[in-house]
Amino acid sequence: MTQSPVIAGLGVATPPPTSQEELWSGFFAGHFTGTTRALAQRIFANSGVTTRQAAVNPLLEDVSDWPTERRMRRYLTEALPLGKEAVDRALAAAGVPVRDIGLFAVCSCTGYATPGLDILLARDMGMAPDTQRLFIGHMGCYAALPGLGVASDFVAARGRPALLLCAELTSLHIQPASARMDTQQIISHALFSDAAVATVLRPGSEPGDGAGGYAVREVASATDTSTSDHMTWEVTDRGFRMGLSPRVPQVLAAHVATLVDDLLDRHGLTRSDVDGWAVHPGGPRILTVVERELGLPADALDASRETLAEHGNCSSPTALLILDRMRRASRPPRRVLLLAFGPGLTLYAALLERESERALAGEAD
């Protein structure tokens, strides 16, 4: 009987929160000028975000004129302790010793350094010398899902635990006030936030042993390369600059139902069999489009909207933040479908199922 790899522990670490209103009045209201300011105020007010976290808080420190080199140095300073906190919590939750980790994968698109987070955290946390490492960079908001796929494949093939860390510091990439502050930049400055989330995957248990966690049944993707210019993340002399076409929602609308239905069909399931929808909140409009195209109940995306309100869009950690919210609910969902979107234009989906439910049902791949 083949067992799917299981998400055995999640660990979340975030910088201190700041209200969206305070960020607007204390910094961004003065950062945007002229007619841009009125547009920005409307976008901030309608972003769906109530609080955000910033490792480099603009109320205390304005990085908008920093060169990229300085931002990258600060990235390591802030990301290392944040990542360590998330990893510590995930390992403790899973009950897995750090030296048992066979693969350590790190997703991040907001900072680069060599040696990077994978090497430095492996060293500082005492991972075994034979621990394999993988850095997944510049994939953006959907990176956690291919990260889960790679980690799951390793666990299935080697029978050893794997560790995935998603760490993003979007606060380092506020653009200069003198830059062309088009709508795309305003939206990114109104939505993005900082976080680190780690997860431990282990080999699946035998049915009936009482173990919990979510089994990773499959990770799937679809990419529409004809729209590759719709979402970009460009390295400039003043940090990384977001490009975001207003046509992104309509591209998602064209592909999301087929991706979801094909994935579920391979497991003999339909949309009605999914009771947990963890959809990456790229913004309120993205959630509305996905809800409409999949014909979801009005409350199906509550966890995604609550995560957006509480954390903003944290890029790659966000899908795992939603999953963490779901698993801590009084009645965690049995089946979860993770959905995330990013450059490519790429859609990723992952089907998760509570291990205890699979054991009780005697299901096998």
Residue 1 domain-assigned (yes or no): no
User: What's the CA angle centered on 234, arms 231 and 237, to 5 degrees?
Assistant: 155
Domains contained in the chain, number: 2
Q: Of 202, 236, 271, which closes a domain?
A: 202
Domain identity same for 232 and 343: yes
Domain identity same for 320 and 239: yes
Q: Of 153, 172, 202, which closes a domain?
A: 202
Domain identity same for 50 and 12: yes
Domain identity same for 195 and 83: yes
Domain identity same for 351 and 231: yes
Domain identity same for 332 and 260: yes
DSSP state of 357: H
Residue 264, domain CATH: 3.40.47.10
Instruction: Tell me if 145 sits within 8 A of 84, measured CB to CB.
Output: no
Residue 77 domain-assigned (yes or no): yes
Residue 252 domain-assigned (yes or no): yes
Domain identity same for 126 and 163: yes
Residue 207 domain-assigned (yes or no): no
SS (H, E, C) 55-90: CCCCCCCCCCCCCHHHHHHHHHHHHHHHHHHHHHHH
Domain identity same for 247 and 167: no
Residue 335 domain-assigned (yes or no): yes
* pTM, 2 dp: 0.94
DSSP state of 299: T
User: What's the CA angle centered on 165, arms 344 and 350, to 5 degrees?
Assistant: 50
Q: Of 179, 202, 225, which closes a domain?
A: 202
The pLDDT score that the predictor gives to residue 207 is 42
Domain identity same for 197 and 299: no
- Please say whether the dihedral angle defined by the alpha carbons of residues 354, 358, 363 and 364, taken in this order, is positive or negative: positive
Residue 322 domain-assigned (yes or no): yes
Q: How far is CA 336 from CA 116, 327, 333, 350, 354, in A?
A: 32, 10, 7, 8, 8
Residue 208 domain-assigned (yes or no): no
Cα(353)–Cα(357) distance, rounded to whole angstroms?
7
The pLDDT score that the predictor gives to residue 210 is 39
Please, is 304 exposed, middle or buried when counting C-beta atoms within 10 Å of its C-beta (0-12, 13-18, 19+)? buried
> Among residues 328, 326, 330, which one has the least CA distance to residue 338?
326
pLDDT tens for each residue of the chain, 365 residues long: 457 999 999 999 999 999 999 999 999 999 998 888 999 999 999 999 999 999 999 999 999 999 999 999 999 999 999 999 999 999 999 999 999 999 999 999 999 999 999 999 999 999 999 999 999 998 999 999 999 999 999 999 999 999 999 999 999 999 998 655 688 889 999 999 999 999 999 998 644 333 469 999 999 999 999 999 999 999 999 999 999 888 999 999 999 999 999 999 999 999 999 999 999 999 999 999 999 999 999 999 999 999 999 999 999 999 999 999 999 999 999 999 999 999 999 999 999 999 765 544 444 44
Domain identity same for 81 and 228: no
Q: Which domain covers residue 195, as residue numbers?
A: 6-202
The first and second tokens of residue 23, run together, are 């960020």
Domain identity same for 275 and 197: no
Residue 141 domain-assigned (yes or no): yes
Instruction: Tell me if 308 sits within 8 A of 71, measured CB to CB.
Output: no
Q: How many of the other CB atoms lie within 10 Å of CB of 361? A: 11
The single-letter code of the amino acid at 280 is: H
Domain identity same for 12 and 72: yes
Cα(169)–Cα(83) distance, rounded to whole angstroms?
11
